[in-house]
Amino acid sequence: MLGAALSLPTFSSLAARQITDQLGRQVTIPDQVDRVVVLQHQTLNLLVQLNATSKIVGILANWKQQLGDGYVRLAPQLQKTPALGDLTHVDLESLVALHPQVVFVTNYAPKEMIEQISQAGIAVVAISLRQDPPGQEDKMNPQLPDEEQAYNQGLKTGIQLIGEVVNRQKQAAELIDYTFTQRKMVSDRLQSVPAQQRVRVYMANPGLSTYGSGKYTGLMMNHAGALNVAESTVKGFKQVSLEQVIAWDPQVIFVQDRYPSVVNEIENDPKWQVIDAVKNHRVYLMPEYAKAWGYPMPEALAIGELWMAKKLYPQKFADVDMQKQADAYYQRFYRTHYVASPVPKTAVAEPKA
């Protein structure tokens, strides 16, 4: 029974330190954290990169859809990890039965959900990977006066926070340093590209949805030297019309690796053939590390933006071997070689993140 489950002692009784999560909440956690439940796929991905997979005792049920089927090879033990809940709800009884010390949730998890878990005596840590202005911390599509600062600092703070919670501070510092050193290399090479000569790019998702301003994906495209055609008319993530895409006439179309069917649809639909990118065969399926999500991921900054920039300006990155770049990252942070997954990804609805 739930009442009996809730009466079980929790590790929170051993708490010895306080942290501040990305909702600005003061949270008391144990000095040593060895059991966490993760209800946000971005945090799950980061924990794997911080070599903290062994601490994960429960995960969100649709993690394969959110991270892609190929992610299993990076953390095979996740297949045997109990799955419960998702970004916005959880089975409290099943959660308590796992005896976690900390539960990671997304910043827009319902307040009632956070309160329920907290009242069960378990520390809840919210992660946004953004630095938000007051009043925007729990929003999915926040108003960000300075998107660049919000995502750069927010990613650093988020990684540091996750590392601090699971006692992986050194690994967190190394991940942050590698990520932003790599990004600087791309920006240095693109300095000579005038704004008016930037390649017009459209990010295609299932159902004619795309990313505009207020999401990391737009920044990713900007850092790669692209002009996001949706930036001035789309806020966040939303559906647009084919007529609008035709009017934008992008020179390049990118598609996330989990949506391979979208590439086929675009290339084979007669209505798309008038678009520059389709006529010139510049519709590209992105590799798994180029995570064009609403939230930033280190590999997207470190090697995804480089891959994108090389596609847009091949002459400026002719000396860059993406296989070597990706392999170096994967060996360091996933402790395995990078191998492009041959497994087709299943198209899923856009996660609210």
| Total Cβ atoms within 10 A of residue 293 | 22
Tell me: pLDDT of 353 over 50. no
Q: What is the pLDDT of residues 103-129, one digit of tens each?
A: 999 999 999 999 999 999 999 999 999
Tell me: pLDDT of 171 over 90. yes
- Contacts of residue 287, Cβ cutoff 8 Å, sequence gap at least 6: 257, 304, 307, 322, 326, 340
pLDDT of residue 79: 95
Average pLDDT over residues 85-96: 94
Per-position b or e across 301-320, b if 16+ CB within 10 A of its CB: bbbbbbbbbbbbbeebbeeb
Q: What is the pLDDT of residues 187-226, one digit of tens each?
A: 999 999 998 899 999 999 999 999 998 788 888 999 999 9
pLDDT of residue 14: 56
Average pLDDT over residues 135-161: 87
Instruction: Please provide the distance, in angstroms rounded to a whole number, between the alpha carbons at the two ends of the chain.
Output: 33
Say whether 2 sits in a helix, a strand or coil.
Answer: helix
Domains contained in the chain, CATH given: 2-167 (3.40.50.1980), 193-333 (3.40.50.1980)
Q: What are phi and psi of 120, to 5 degrees?
A: -80, 5
Question: Which has the closest alpha carbon to 23: 108, 148, 86?
Answer: 108
Q: Which helix (H) or strand (E) holds 251?
A: none
pLDDT of residue 216: 85
On whether the CB atoms of residues 289 and 319 are closer than 8 A, the answer is no
At which residue do the structure tokens 């109990």 appear? Answer: 82
Confidence class of residue 27 from pLDDT cuts 50, 70 and 90?
very high
- Contacts of residue 146, Cβ cutoff 8 Å, sequence gap at least 6: none
Q: Which tokens go with 40?
A: 């946000």
pLDDT of residue 9: 44
Say whether 26 sits in a helix, a strand or coil.
Answer: strand
DSSP assignment of 128-182: -SS-PPTT-TT-SS---S-HHHHHHHHHHHHHHHHHHHTT-HHHHHHHHHHHHHH
Confidence class of residue 148 from pLDDT cuts 50, 70 and 90?
confident
- Contacts of residue 288, Cβ cutoff 8 Å, sequence gap at least 6: 68, 70, 71, 257, 340, 341
Confidence class of residue 342 from pLDDT cuts 50, 70 and 90?
low
User: Which residues are 199's β-sheet partners?
Assistant: 226
pLDDT of residue 348: 40
